Amino acid sequence: MDIRVTVPAMRNFVMQLPEKLQKSLKSHFKGLTKHNDRTKSRISLGNDKESSSTLLEINLEKQLQVWKENPTWVDQSPDIKVSVPKGSFCHLNVKVDVGLPPDAVYNIVTDPDNKRVFKNIKEVLSRKVLVDEGLHQVVEVDQAALWKFLWWSGTISVHVLVDQNRADYSMKFKQVKTGFMERFEGCWRVEPILVDEKSCLPFKPKTVADYISCTKGKGRVGSKVSLEQIIQPLIIPPPPISWYLRGITTRTTEMLITDLLAEAGRIREGSTSVPDISEGKELVKSEKILDEFSAHGICDIKRRWAKYIRL
């Protein structure tokens, strides 16, 4: 029933009724009209792009305050699994828990200026928004990524199409132009973790809303971040070079996660600035992962190669 159409007609009918009955019915219809207005307001708010973002920011702001009041968190090493499907070079699956709510983590990953966070991004050459539907965007990005192989280093252009959907905290990416890589694609996903769930015992919350309710708004929401990458160079080198390159790819991904955790730590501490890379501290911390692989990885590869040629 459309209340906007029926209410005026009913009001005319009410005018012909006894005074007490008029007051009773008018009060009832007034309540219905207000309810209808509130419903329309909520629908408008949900469909409006700017309002949707504002709601997300309000929730994020509350959660960041909760984290500020209780910043206790210990970062764990990421779980990295590498598989080599037949005829391919490398399939990476990474999982790590982050001490920040999903909106905050998603902001880091999708930030157009995230080269300030991720040290393997030297420069964003171009960025073009192709589709903008509020929570859903499709963006074309061309970046200059750093690479390092033994004593050599340089940059390669990574031109990808990025499909961002904040509604489910996913970000899919796929290479647009073939260059050094024949295939480069993957997906980021962020899911909520109920960090202080034990405080709800014996009640077990089934949703984030239940969790927020049972903790009286003081329960922290963290994130389970997963990254899946399929990497296929234009030419797959033979062993042992392929082993080394696969190891470098794994360590580069580990660098990426290390940078993400470092930025999450800064946000928990209330800092909005990233240390200057030119000072070398942050860059050295990230590159140390690659240096350690260069030192220990080569020895391991030599052992694998000796075993390989004996087969």
Amino acid at 78: P
**pLDDT of res. 151:** 62
Please give the residue that has the higher pLDDT: either 278 or 145. 145
- Mean pLDDT of all residues in 64-70: 94
Given this model, what pLDDT does residue 273 score?
53
When pLDDT is cut at 50, 70 and 90, the band that residue 288 belongs to is low
Q: What is the pLDDT of residue 309?
A: 52
Q: How far apart are CA 108 and CA 104, in angstroms?
A: 7
Residue with tokens 């962020």: 190
Provide the angle, in degrees to the nearest 10, between the axes of the packed helices 49-69 and 102-110.
Answer: 120
In this prediction, residue 153 has a pLDDT band, given cuts at 50, 70 and 90, of confident
Q: Is the pLDDT of residue 32 over 50?
A: no
Strand 136-149 to strand 221-233: parallel, antiparallel, or no bridges (unpaired)?
Answer: unpaired
Please list, in sequence order, all residues whose beta carbon lies within 8 angstroms of the beta carbon of residue 288, skipping any fewer than 6 positions away. Answer: none
Q: Looking at the predicted structure, is the pLDDT value of residue 40 above 70? A: no
Look at residues 253, 259, 250 and name the one whose alpha carbon lies nearest to residue 277. 259
Share of the chain above pLDDT 90, in %: 47
Phi, psi of 235 (to 5 degrees): -125, 125
C-alpha–C-alpha distance, residues 155 and 180, integer Å: 11
pLDDT at 17 over 50: no
Mean pLDDT score across all residues of the chain: 77
DSSP-derived secondary structure for 250-306: HHHHHHHHHHHHHHHHHHHTT------GGGSHHHHHHHHHHHHHHHHHHHHHHHHHH
Res. 42 pLDDT band, cuts 50 70 90: very low
Tell me the average pLDDT across 181-202.
94
- The residue whose two tokens read 């590159």 is 287
Distance CA 50, CA 69 (A): 29
Angle between helices 49-69 and 19-47 (to 10 degrees): 80
**pLDDT mean over 268-275:** 68
Q: Are strands 221-233 and 121-133 parallel, antiparallel or unpaired?
A: unpaired
More reliable by pLDDT, 23 or 48: 23
pLDDT of residue 270: 83
pLDDT value at position 36? 42
User: Does residue 205 surpass a pLDDT of 80?
Assistant: yes
* pLDDT for res 303: 62
Q: Which of 9-18, 59-68, 85-94, 98-107 has the highest mean pLDDT?
A: 98-107
Q: Is the pLDDT of residue 89 over 90?
A: no
Predicted confidence at residue 149, as pLDDT, reads 62
The SS3 of residue 239 is coil
Residue 225's DSSP bridge partners are 96, 190
Rounded Cα–Cα distance for residues 121 and 147 (Å) = 10
